[in-house]
Structure formats: C-alpha cells, structure tokens
Structure 1
C-alpha cells in the first residue's frame, strides 16, 4: 500500500475512533451533569457503582475502537485472519507493542496510526477520569 494511502487510511480510522470516543465521553458528561451522582447526599455505594459503570463504558469504547482497527487492517489485507488482526490492534492501540506480530512494510504506517489513536484516546480517558475524581473529591468533606 503506498505511503499516502496508508496515511489517509490510518487517519480515517483515527478520526472514526476519535469521533466514537468523543461522543461517548460527551454523553457520559451530559449524563453526569443532568443526574448528580456525586452529590454529598448520595451514598458511597451509589457513587462507587457510578464510577464502576463509567469505567466499564469507557472500556467498552476502547474495545470497540480496537475492533474497528482490527477489522480495518483485516479488510485491507494486512492480516489473513481476524485473530492476528485483533491481537496486533490490541497490543498496538495500548502501545505495548510486543513485536511478535508485525505488519509488512506496505502497512506499517497504517499500523502506527493505531498507536497514535490509542495514545490520544487514553489521554482523553485520563483527562475525563482526573476531572471526575476532582469533582468527586471536591464535593466530599475531607
């Protein structure tokens, strides 16, 4: 696959994943703003359950993005089967990058874009969680 096409392909996958994650986080923020789950009058159990559900929803968003990346790599022929594509996408998205499964030179830039996607989306998740805990701790009498 030519370099320019890899960049376009990788950027498209990145934009799709970013849009999915931005919409997910925005929906969670809107829900938190309309339903005050962390008001001081709420029980600790309710707040803990809310945080667990939020983490699961964020994890679901990341998981879907990994599958989008894997499916995209499989569709363009970078991998002959789905197992290697899912594994590669998972270790690349999380930037672990074991190196036991690698892309051929014609797909490497597209693969690197998956790691860029993971870095950006994990950064967004981290910012959301830090803000969430800042809000939770700010409303608690410490």
Structure 2
C-alpha cells in the first residue's frame, strides 16, 4: 500500500475514532449535567458508583476503537486472522508496542497512525477524568 494511501486510511481511522470518542464523552457530559450526579447533596457512594460507570463507558469507547483499528488492519490485508490484528491494535493503541507482531513495510504508517490515535484518545479521556475529579473534589471539604 503506498504511503499516501496509508496516511489517508490512517487519518480516516483517526477521524472516525475521534468522532466516536467525542460523541461518547459529549453524551456522558450531557447526562451528568442533566441529572447532576455530582451535586454536593449526593452521597459519596453514589458518586463513586457513577464514576465507576463512567470509567467503564470510557473503557468501552477505547475498546471499540481498538476493534475498529483491528478491522482496518484485517480488511487492508496487513495482518491475517482475527487475533493478530486485535493484539497488534491493542499494544499499538496503548503505545506499549511489544514488537512481537510487526507490520510489513507496506502497512507501517497505519501502525503509527493507530498509535497517534491512541495517544490523542487517551489524552481526551484524561482531560475528562481530571475535570470530573476537579469538580468532585472541589465540592467536598477535604
């Protein structure tokens, strides 16, 4: 696959994953604002349960993005089967990059784009979690 085509596919993958993650975060924030789960009158237990649920929703979003990346690798012929693309996408998206499964030169840029996608999506997740904890801890007397 030519480099330009890899960049186009990688950019499209990044855009799809970003839009998915933004949609999930946006709906989550809208729900939280509408129901005010972190109001000072709510119990700490309630807030912990809601925070745990939010973590699961964000984890679910990342998992779907990893599967989208794996599907892209599989459909482009970069990796055979289903286990290798999922494994490669997981270790690349999380930037662990063990190196035991590698892409051939015709698909290497795709791997780098998956890594960039993971970095950006985890950055968004971190921003949401920090904002959430800032709000929760700001309303509590420590």
Q: Structure 1 length as normaliser, TM-score?
A: 0.99
Residue 33 (structure 2) aligns with: 33
State the 1:25 CA deviation: 0.5
SS of residue matched to 1:81: coil
Q: Which blocks of at least 5 consecutive residues in structure 2 are unaligned?
A: none
2:71 is equivalent to residue 71 of structure 1? yes
Root mean square deviation of aligned Cα:
0.5
Q: Which blocks of at least 5 consecutive residues in structure 1 are unaligned?
A: none
CA distance in 2, matches of 1:141, 1:2: 58
Write the deviation string for residues 28-73 of structure 1: whole angstroms up to 9, x where unpaired: 1111111111111111110000000000000000000000000010
The runs of at least 4 aligned residues of structure 1 exceeding 6 Å deviation read none
Number of residue pairs matched by the alignment: 142
CA distance in 2, matches of 1:64, 1:13: 12
SS of residue matched to 2:59: helix
CA distance in 1, matches of 2:108, 2:133: 38
SS of residue matched to 2:89: helix
Within a 5 Å distance, the mapping from 1:7-26 to structure 2 comes to 7-26=7-26
State the 1:79 CA deviation: 0.8
2:57 is equivalent to residue 57 of structure 1? yes
Within a 5 Å distance, the mapping from 1:1-142 to structure 2 comes to 1-142=1-142
CA distance in 1, matches of 2:33, 2:41: 16
